Amino acid sequence: MLTILALVLMGRMVITINTTMLDAGFTKDIAEYRITATSLGTSMLEQTSAMAFDEASVDSGATSTSVLTTAASFGPDAGESSETDYDDIDDYHNYSKVDSLEHSAIFKTKVSVSYITISGSNVVTTTTKSFSKQVTVDITSDYLVNYSVTPAVPETLRFKQIFSYWYFR
């Protein structure tokens, strides 16, 4: 009887240890996916920050909002067929790509660009030309899931950065 009780106790301990190890591995994997997605999002923001503010400011300074690109014309300009051809921030509007990293998940990146204004303490998107643009990068993946709610729901990591153009007379 004592032997059977000892085997039951040992079996229970093995199950508890295995469950704990699986939970730790699962948590590590989720953290790894989020860190990778964060790296992709911030890299995309860094990539856009290396560009000129607007097509009008690529070769010379833009001294008036009237010369800036209209919001409806955001996206790659004529002759810009890939991201290596992009020369200003709004060329990235509606840009998307898929990253498949070795030994990891597949991540989808979507970029949007909009003019903004500041209203009190709020940032408001607008179609009116201004010397401020907001770049929004959304990262999604089948492995980015919020398990803290029931049922679990897919999660999108969103990164935003405001770029302003300054000119001096």
Which pair of structure tokens corresponds to residue 66? 């009237």
pLDDT in tens, 18-37: 666 655 556 777 888 899 99
pLDDT of 10 reads 80
pLDDT of 160 reads 96
Full-model pTM: 0.82
* Residue 135's pLDDT band (cuts 50, 70, 90): very high
Q: Are 31 and 23 in contact (CB under 8 A)?
A: no
What is the rounded average pLDDT for all residues in the chain?
88
Structural domain spans, the chain: 2-164
Does 151 sit behind a cis peptide bond, omega within 30 degrees of 0 on the bond before it? yes
Q: Is the pLDDT of residue 146 over 90?
A: no
